[in-house]
Structure 1
């Protein structure tokens, strides 16, 4: 029988197959490419890609702010390339769907202000010539020790066996819903939609930390003024929610007890930068694991891979995904830490939340990671081939677990090495 809920003030209890199951509810959200913050991520990554395409050694740290009728692009760059940034900004806005002030922004006529300076010479020197390169000790490795980390910081990666893509189910579904929401708008499958939008999903988890029921789905989408709310709800249920559930094979979680909320605050005609100002790097939980894992605080978009905020977070996802795929644990979270100007990480930590397999300990898995993965910045950039214009496709709908694009940090190419390193 499908689960049904017994509500009280202390806990959530679902009755399924005539048995009561105490549940915890976990929620993740996603946003569409037309969300103001995601507009900024897209512009910053479009600039990064354009520079890397012409000069793979470009150093880029670009931030974007959007507000009513205006785009401001600021940051620091070191490059031999030239890019017509205002034209790139406008093209990015129009590709998202902002082609008229009627929808909240007009990429053809908005003001574009550029204030980009040169990368700090001190930061550049630390990246170009690491502490190890200056000291040249007995274990100095010219290929991998020359480049230092672009900043201090801590980065996390996470993977779980909840989904085929080794992602937590809530964020995986939220992203699928957001992508589909953008698709039905762009292809005219559901008419009267505008670019700004958000999704949110809440799953019930049992005492074994396994999702068993899709409890609540929220779809908020910008729309034309004349749209009837019931018409919109019906079409979004059919063409977004139920389409995604079927396409992703998630029917067992979706029941008559699943609650769908569409634009719960009422109408949503004013969106995009006219509704809210946007800023690069303000959706870091959406970009990663939907709150299921910890986050070091560093954003991704607009940063070249010498910035470990980005490249090391990608590497940690690569590590965690291979740990779970190797059957070493059901869940894995990996932390790495760096000092600016140093090549070698100053810290590495593996946590499997008690799910390690084959009687392994977290310490044994951590030792295997050190043996199998080289986490110096130069090695990460080389192994994942990061000096390429691949970042624009990550600006919306998540950087991890993507099923629609091919990303190098999603490869399962160290599974056998990890198993061998722990003696399996």
Structure 2
């Protein structure tokens, strides 16, 4: 494993068009789970100039007319259900902060093409008789943790997220009223002996109010961004040798869905580990937790984080694989990249994970029960990363480090 190198990760703000789509899709997941914890949701969102389009499949009894025995593709909505969905969509856009001519929560055109879940998918996923609930799809999922930051995340991504979170907070509190919702950040860090020690390049592109791309207003915006970055990054990382690119293309007044169409699930590397770890390919937002794309990615992060938090390794990657309709994972793989503690092997960690009873055999239901995933907790995860966040109440349960003692006990 290389120890001296440059590495880069990027993040995008809650106002980025793809992230707007992710947050809308997860707002629908939360709406359905609040109505029915056993809801099935696969919601895709497209955003563009003054328009939002939803499509996908759902199963949520209170949202459909109970007299309609079959899940109609052309109807079956309970009274007021479509209005609730539209209200959730518009509320999400308003909370992000879009009140622009090209994208305004109140005046945009909304289309809802959600319909009932396929009965063929349902028969494979639902439990029945002696059959346990199966995975919602086939696939591979990865989790990762490392000791580069207190959040046990890759530093390049962790600090990229934090810069944009700060910009959004300052925009909403009017500390920086010249900022608009759409923004991107990117950090290049120099690693020595496997540890980040300096920032070699910083890129921040932020949508702004009219005129903040020239003269004194441009200088004010750039000075503000440099101040935020200096306060976010560890002391000493920014120096005279750091290369800065703040709004390098010039004016950035047209942004968000008005500047570029957005789709759910296009920011899977931003959502996970910034390229520092593998990705199985499946997105998270818009999916209920029976979909292992989501729940298994969360449990692998949880396992990897607890391994690092326990001091069993400084860096850990975990993979799980599933088949649609099959409950138990097909494989479990652990790689500590040569950083494990003395006497701890990757094979021993795999065995330990299999043997921890509270994990429920890592079946879809076992994962959901252990982490408490059948709750409306997902909109918060749809911007600034699903990982490295603060576990708080029901939110981000996969970030807890409450498995440390179990792992140590399982290793003897």
- TM-score over 0.5 for the pair: yes
The one of 103, 106, 109 equivalent to 2:107 is: 109
TM-fit CA distance, 1:125:
1.1
1:421 aligns to what?
Answer: 410
Please give the residue correspondences for 1:223-234 in structure 2 after superposition, counting only pairs within 5 Å: 223-227=208-212, 228=214, 229-234=218-223
Instruction: Report Cα offsets for 1:148-196 as digits up to 9, x if no partner.
Output: 1011000000000111111111111001001011111111111211111
Structure-1-length-normalised TM-score: 0.87
Instruction: Report Cα offsets for 1:325-366 as digits up to 9, x if no partner.
Output: 111111000000001111110011001111111232211111
Please give the residue correspondences for 1:161-240 in structure 2 after superposition, counting only pairs within 5 Å: 161-206=147-192, 208-227=193-212, 228=214, 229-238=218-227, 240=228
Distance in 2 (CA, whole Å) between partners of 1:315 and 1:232 is 40
The one of 265, 277, 281 equivalent to 1:297 is: 281
2:74 aligns to what?
Answer: none
2:251 aligns to what?
Answer: 267
1:396 aligns to what?
Answer: 383
Which is worse superposed, 216-225 or 81-90? 81-90
8 Å CA contact 1:63–1:74 kept in 2: the answer is yes
2:119 aligns to what?
Answer: 121
2:66 aligns to what?
Answer: none
SS of aligned partner of 2:236: helix
TM-fit CA distance, 1:127:
1.1
TM-fit CA distance, 1:225:
2.2
The one of 52, 68, 72 equivalent to 1:71 is: 52
Distance in 1 (CA, whole Å) between partners of 2:369 and 2:315 is 27
SS of aligned partner of 2:329: coil
Please give the residue correspondences for 1:18-417 in structure 2 after superposition, counting only pairs within 5 Å: 23-82=4-63, 83=81, 84-101=84-101, 104-129=102-127, 136=130, 146-206=132-192, 208-227=193-212, 228=214, 229-238=218-227, 240-245=228-233, 250-372=234-356, 373=359, 374-403=361-390, 406-417=395-406
8 Å CA contact 1:328–1:365 kept in 2: the answer is no
8 Å CA contact 2:35–2:60 kept in 1: the answer is no
In structure 2, do the counterparts of structure 1 residues 397 and 331 end up closer, same or farther at CA, with 3 Å as the change threshold? same
Structure-2-length-normalised TM-score: 0.90
8 Å CA contact 2:11–2:161 kept in 1: the answer is yes
Instruction: Report Cα offsets for 1:68-116 as digits up to 9, x if no partner.
Output: 1111000000111334212211111111111121xx4111111101101
Q: Which runs of 5+ in 2 are unaligned?
A: 64-80
SS of aligned partner of 1:301: coil
CA RMSD between the two structures: 1.6
What is the count of residue pairs matched by the alignment? 383
Distance in 2 (CA, whole Å) between partners of 1:362 and 1:190 is 48
TM-fit CA distance, 1:404:
8.0
Which is worse superposed, 85-94 or 305-314? 85-94
